[in-house]
Amino acid sequence: MSASDRAETAGARPVGAMLLAVCLLSTMDVVVKLLGGDHGIGQIVLLKSAASLPWVGLWWLLRPERSTWRLARPGAHLLRGVLLAIAGFGFFTAFTLLPLAEAYAILFTAPIVTVLLAWALMGERPGKGAGIALSAGFLGVLVVASPGLMIQDGQGHGPLTGYVAALIGTVGYAGVIVTTRKLAPSEGIGALALSANLVAGTVAIPVALIDWTPVSAAQLAGYLVVAGLSVSGIALISWALARVEVQRVAPLEYTAFAWAVLYDWAIWRTTPGLASILGAAIIVSACLWLETRRAAGQRRAAG
């Protein structure tokens, strides 16, 4: 095998890892959607966070090095955990009210929101194209949401609630990404995982107790599966990003839309309408265009 062939093979592995990670995380969302009919959102966030702790404990057994569990900035960890709870409340609410494909289309605006939050929280000035990408992204959101914005079920839980929840979850998720990037140089990976789940679970306790329902052994197993899929997916993403440039694998996250369409059809017998497909295309195009401009700017600055 030539050097170029070996390099191509090595580069293909992170791509494969990223594709598998997206599959695992999409499957996690399906399980959450199925569990959503049995428990309230606060209970789901709490049980998912609690079920993550055994996986974190296993990680500690495998990687007990002090550097993995270094925690130097507890205040920032607290903020990150609260943002993770907000993301969980938003996404899990959206998943229970909307088809996965529609919720994912709105989630795809996360890269644009991340750029704005990085500007507000870290002083990272966005490129000249950020405003265009933001406008196009939210135009895509309006296109996705337009068919169901006026549909309600009479109890305040119609599609509008789902779209708002998805947007709130997206802002929370973008905040988690920004704070993770700020914490990563000084904190251990294990500490990031442990603190996030402890804080998010604690935040969810009051909401969970308001409408707590019994949890069967089968349902508890479901939450362990959710946590395991989450930990595995995030680990694969971290492994991939450590080996190739972000711009090579980040766009692969958009394959989640294909998984959402497949699961929606296979389990709930629903298919995305023209508005969902068109809106998702607008959002993905805006995010990819923004990432392309950013990468080009980095190359010019380096060269």
User: pLDDT tens digits, residue range 32-90?
Assistant: 888 877 888 999 999 999 999 898 888 788 877 877 777 888 888 899 899 999 999 99
Crossing angle of the two packed helices 189-210 and 159-183, in degrees rounded to 10: 150
**Residue 9 predicted with pLDDT over 60:** no
**What CA–CA distance (Å, rounded) separates 71 from 22?**
29
**What CA–CA distance (Å, rounded) separates 99 from 144?**
11
Cα angle, residue 206 at apex, residues 205 and 212 outer, rounded to 5°: 75
Q: What is the pLDDT of residue 4?
A: 47
What's the 3-state SS for 47-100? HHHHHHHHHHHHHHHHCCCHHHHCCCCHHHHHHHHHHHHHHHHHHHHHHHHCCH
Tell me which of 134 and 183 has the higher pLDDT: 183
**Could you tell me the residue ranges of all domains in the chain?**
29-302
**What CA–CA distance (Å, rounded) separates 82 from 79?**
5
Q: What is the pLDDT of residue 250?
A: 67
Global pTM reads 0.78
Q: What is the pLDDT of residue 154?
A: 46
* Contact predicate 30/263, CB 8 Å: yes
What's the 3-state SS for 100-156? HHHHHHHHCCHHHHHHHHHHHHHCCCCCCCHHHHHHHHHHHHHHHHHHHCCCCCCCC
**Residue 6 predicted with pLDDT over 60:** no
Which range has the top average pLDDT, 121-135, 185-199, 256-270? 256-270
**What CA–CA distance (Å, rounded) separates 254 from 184?**
25
